[in-house]
A and B are shown apart, each in its own frame.
Chain A
């Protein structure tokens, strides 16, 4: 089993506060990983470290066999859809595709256009005029069409209404299966992850509390209590253990 992300003693400090401390984590390739935890637990920090947007204060992190953000080849292997799914308001969807095509050697233009057509969006539309959900879809499309080995998504559905949210997640799982992508997706809502993920990492108070394949975690829970817990129960237990 090859790891797509491997962290050891990983920590990030902002001035006095540790956003992430002593993080030891190994995420296998080919999974859709849910990164869950309360607000301020360090989910964003971990994802930003993995994308190379931040540099660690302590420890090491290795993503797809390289140091995050280290050169164009490494950047090509990792797709990152940042929180609030930023896009250029003044540029059209078409312009964003040209941006993707020119800045990424592995860009799959057909994939990008197919996705946007399926979503019923007009490529001539400016990103600034899209709704929050449509903008998130555009950002996801850019991340997927880049054809990375690992796609990182930081709270991609936080701004979406329930319908857009479920569509986005279905779409994501479909894309991940089709392209054999590894995906790490953060959220503070377990329900979001339940439908999309097969692997779980629980972060609490800047530390990793639980990590593993969801099936295995549920089976282990069943052996412990005699009853198969729901994912929600499992996560709540992990959160409460730290109190």
Chain B
């Protein structure tokens, strides 16, 4: 079974691994220069970085996020759907190998390749980004380099991409078994992944481990202004991921912002001046956030959840394929 799986898969494998190798080569060529600059530039690091490093940083983030989707769409969805569509399942299911073993071999080999390709890519990207992460962690002001805890970057770092690759691949296979057509299965897989990623980053990830909470009195100094109609207050935690914020009155109850303040801000007032009103009322700002130290615990928790989901879907695939009418 391994031979047949490999024979059917090798061309698709070459494309993805080729792409990963090319990008890894670009990172390998530019990484040492980045590390050198970090050693010598000190506080001037981000000022001295040319914009091509910023482009590479964002491109890398995009690629690491895209590869699991590509794997789900181009490796996962056609894996069984193409056989069902072209009728070759009736050839291969009538050899002396059970459907369960047939699919298990496919899931095993291609799944392993999916994890390996994404693992290599995230390893290379994370290595390349080490100087930038260190500079951000030491308080550097880094315009154009979003923090690794941010929604934009989190899924492109550490071990999480491997979890996404496993989920995307098995999801693609499952959708292919259900829809029995390659192209609709590819589209549905992509849509499903977009939804899954949204649900994960907005609803699930903030709660994967208990976030921290701080309440600080609002003062003229820490008030930064309005963000999306709510107050933004500096609570003195560097590169934290803010999950929720609310304003409390002197009694500790959540309150809307007083009109005196919003009017003052809307008429173009300085936050520091307008904010004096809030300080006098004894208002405080409660912020729920994940500190920088939660990066790895969140990474492992999300990866574990994704891998568990992938295993569950793989088990469903095996079950469905056993019952699949020809």
Contacts and interface: CB of A to CB of B under 8 A. Distances in A.
Contacts of B4: 99, 102-103
A61 to B, nearest CB: 15
Interface of A: 48, 51, 53-55, 71-73, 75-76, 78-80, 82, 84, 86-91, 95, 98-100, 102-106, 139, 142-143, 146
Most buried by B among A86, A105, A143: A86
B214 interface: no
Contacts of B8: 88, 90-91
Contacts of A139: 91
Contacts, number: 75
A89 B86 contact: yes
A205 B4 CA distance: 40
Top 10 closest A-B pairs, CB basis? A53-B326, A103-B95, A76-B96, A82-B90, A86-B87, A80-B94, A104-B96, A86-B91, A75-B96, A103-B97
Contacts of B98: 71-72, 75
B15 interface: no
A92 B88 CA distance: 14
B87 A84 contact: yes
Interface size range of chain B in the complex: 20 to 34
Contacts of A90: 8
B95 A146 contact: yes
Interface string B204-246: 0000000000000000000000000000000000000000000
A88 to B, nearest CB: 5
Interface string B58-99: 000000000000000000000000000011111111111110
A72 B1 CA distance: 13
Contacts of B90: 53, 80, 82, 86
Given A73-B96, A76-B96, A80-B94, 18 more contacts: A53-B93, A54-B326, A55-B325, A78-B94, A79-B94, A80-B90, A84-B87, A86-B88, A86-B91, A88-B88, A98-B3, A102-B3, A103-B95, A103-B96, A104-B95, A104-B96, A106-B96, A143-B94
B7 A95 contact: yes
B325 A82 contact: no
A89 to B, nearest CB: 7
Interface of B: 1, 3-4, 7-8, 86-98, 101, 323, 325-326
Contacts of B97: 72, 75, 103
A103 B94 CA distance: 10
Contacts of A73: 96
Contacts of A78: 94
Contacts of B92: 99, 103
A82 B97 CA distance: 17
Contacts of A143: 94
Nearest to B3: A102
A146 B92 CA distance: 12
Nearest to B101: A72
A86 B98 CA distance: 18
Contacts of B323: 55
A48 B93 CA distance: 12
Contact of A88 (B91, B95, B96, B325): B91
Contact of B88 (A51, A71, A87, A95): A87
Most buried by A among B93, B94, B98, B325: B94
15 contacts: A51-B94, A53-B94, A54-B325, A55-B323, A72-B98, A72-B101, A75-B97, A82-B90, A87-B91, A99-B4, A99-B92, A100-B95, A103-B95, A104-B96, A143-B94
Nearest to A86: B87
Contacts of B96: 72-73, 75-76, 103-106, 146
A82 B87 contact: yes
Contacts of A51: 94
A237 B67 CA distance: 64
B313 to A, nearest CB: 24
A156 B86 CA distance: 17
A90 B93 CA distance: 18
A34 B53 CA distance: 73
Contacts of A142: 91
A75 B94 contact: yes
B185 to A, nearest CB: 19
A55 B322 CA distance: 11
B91 A82 contact: yes
A45 to B, nearest CB: 11
Most buried by A among B3, B90, B97: B90
